[in-house]
């Protein structure tokens, strides 16, 4: 006779703490199905406390996903999102989400499983969690072409750990005012948004990193690397680099990659890599660097659209077998239940 005694306990009688410990380990799709199991389960899963607990658990998992916004190669050029597991050698696709909107909207940022969508005018915004199929339309901004004339706008999106809420920031450059910094694509890290920016002062162009602290809601600046007497506008973007930032500088002939080894310490900028733009051939030259992977490799987009990953130490190159397109965006991603509690 077996010494193992099975004790069957009805799920409905389990304490919420035990149910929470079970649910957080389930795949997102299974958790969504569980909301139909009973009113009690639905109430528990859609509670903001559980959603926060699940997010914390997901962030601490070892599964590292990259979000890639792509376009199909068919004639209709349909846009879609793909999640890829960057930990495995084959860069396996983990999930794919179709793009449910027309071309009026595009993804401009990601944070904790949320996508920030902006229209072509950078006036209308939506938040979407493709894992749970939830969409939240945000209020329109009060600066428009009708009220202020032509302007340029750069968008930032991140999580404020103080208020435990998400914030969208729009930095507007009035085209008739040269004293206002013109900004570029954003990077979110350490509770702050970062853009490469410049301003005119004393008849010179001053390049810097514009930083917006989401908790304090204040701007400050970080010096860019010393470019040895370079004058004029610097072409480049900011990326997450471990717990700090990196600067991708694209020159006429070379791509230079700088890493800030100690966050917010300008003297810690170090050039870690330089590569000729035509390294892969004149017809397939480097268009831009997209993002650092967590293993230290950098993802590059070539003129032909191909995405590759290069190890900066060994110089090993991996073809990711992905074709990007004009609006390709690559960013870290975590599957979450954020917005599930929204109606």
For residue 75, is pLDDT > 80? no
Mean pLDDT of 179-183: 48
Q: Lowest-confidence range among 139-148, 220-229, 296-305?
A: 139-148
Fold exhibited by the domain 59-333 = Neuraminidase (2.120.10)
**Range picked from 63-72, 133-142, 210-219, 230-239 for highest mean pLDDT:** 210-219
Proportion of the chain above pLDDT 90, given as a percent: 52
Residue 55's H or E segment, with its range, is helix 48-59
Residue 6 is predicted with a pLDDT of 47
Residue 73 is predicted with a pLDDT of 60
In terms of Cβ atoms closer than 10 Å to its own Cβ (0-12, 13-18, 19+), residue 237 is: buried
Q: Which residue has the tokens 């717990």?
A: 243
Mean pLDDT of 128-154: 82
Q: Backbone phi, then psi, for 68, in 5-degree steps?
A: -130, 120
Model confidence over 109-133: pLDDT tens digits? 999 999 999 887 777 899 999 999 9
Residue 178 is predicted with a pLDDT of 47
Q: DSSP code of 282?
A: G
β-partners of residue 82 are 68, 96
Residue 219 is predicted with a pLDDT of 95
Would you kindly state where each structural domain of the chain is located, as residue ranges? 16-58, 59-333
Give the residue ranges of DSSP H helices in 60-187: 145-148
Residue 105 is predicted with a pLDDT of 82
Proportion of the chain above pLDDT 70, given as a percent: 87
For residue 319, is pLDDT > 80? yes
Residue 185 is predicted with a pLDDT of 80
Render the burial of 23-57: b for 16+ CB within 10 Å, e for the rest.
bbeeebeebbebbeeeeebeebbeeeebbebbbee
Mean pLDDT of 91-114: 85
**For the sheet containing 105-111, what is the strand order?**
105-111, 114-119, 125-129, 134-137
For residue 229, is pLDDT > 90? no
User: With contact defined as beta carbons under 8 Å apart, do 245 and 191 qualify?
Assistant: no
Average pLDDT over the chain, rounded to whole?
Answer: 86
Residue 194 is predicted with a pLDDT of 96
User: With contact defined as beta carbons under 8 Å apart, do 96 and 81 qualify?
Assistant: yes
**Secondary structure (DSSP) of 36-52:** TT-HHHHHHHTSHHHHH
Tokens of 285: 């030259």
More confident residue, 177 or 61: 61
Residue 74 is predicted with a pLDDT of 57
Mean pLDDT of 288-298: 92
Mean pLDDT of 228-235: 74
Mean pLDDT of 212-237: 86
For residue 62, is pLDDT > 80? no
Residue 101 is predicted with a pLDDT of 66
Distance, in Å, from the CA atom of 148 to the CA atom of 150, rounded to the nearest integer, reads: 7
More confident residue, 100 or 55: 55
Q: Lowest-confidence range among 268-277, 289-298, 317-326?
A: 317-326
Mean pLDDT of 262-275: 93
């Amino acid at each position: 006779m077996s010494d193992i005694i099975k004790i069957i306990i009805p799920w409905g009688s389990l304490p919420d703490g035990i149910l929470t410990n079970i649910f957080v380990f389930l795949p997102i799709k299974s958790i969504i199905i569980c909301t139909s199991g009973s009113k009690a389960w639905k109430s528990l899963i859609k509670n903001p406390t559980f959603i926060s607990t699940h997010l914390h658990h997901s962030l601490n998992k070892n599964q590292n996903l990259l979000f890639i916004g792509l376009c199909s190669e068919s004639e209709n050029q349909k846009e879609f999102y793909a999640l890829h597991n960057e930990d495995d050698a084959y860069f396996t696709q983990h999930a794919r989400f179709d793009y449910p909107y027309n071309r009026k909207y595009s993804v401009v940022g990601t944070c904790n499983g949320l996508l920030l969508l902006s229209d072509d005018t950078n006036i209308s915004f939506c938040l979407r969690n493709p894992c749970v199929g939830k969409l939240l339309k945000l209020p329109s901004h009060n600066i428009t072409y009708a009220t202020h004339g032509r302007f340029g706008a750069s968008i930032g999106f991140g999580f404020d750990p103080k208020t435990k809420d998400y914030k969208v920031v729009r930095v507007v450059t009035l085209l008739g005012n040269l004293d206002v910094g013109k900004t570029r694509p954003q990077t979110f890290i350490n509770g702050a948004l970062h853009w490469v920016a410049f301003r005119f002062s004393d008849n010179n162009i001053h390049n810097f990193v514009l930083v917006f602290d989401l908790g304090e809601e204040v701007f400050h600046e970080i010096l860019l690397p010393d470019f040895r007497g370079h004058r004029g506008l610097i072409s480049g973007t900011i990326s997450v680099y471990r717990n700090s930032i990196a600067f991708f500088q694209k020159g006429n002939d070379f791509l230079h990659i700088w890493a800030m080894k100690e966050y917010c310490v300008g003297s810690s900028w170090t050039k870690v890599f330089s590569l000729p733009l035509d390294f892969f051939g004149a017809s397939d030259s480097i268009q831009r660097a997209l993002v650092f992977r967590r293993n230290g490799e950098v993802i590059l987009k070539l003129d032909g659209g191909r995405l590759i990953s290069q190890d900066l130490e060994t110089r090993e190159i991996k073809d990711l077998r992905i074709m990007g397109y004009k609006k390709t965006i690559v960013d870290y991603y975590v599957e979450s239940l954020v917005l599930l509690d929204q109606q």
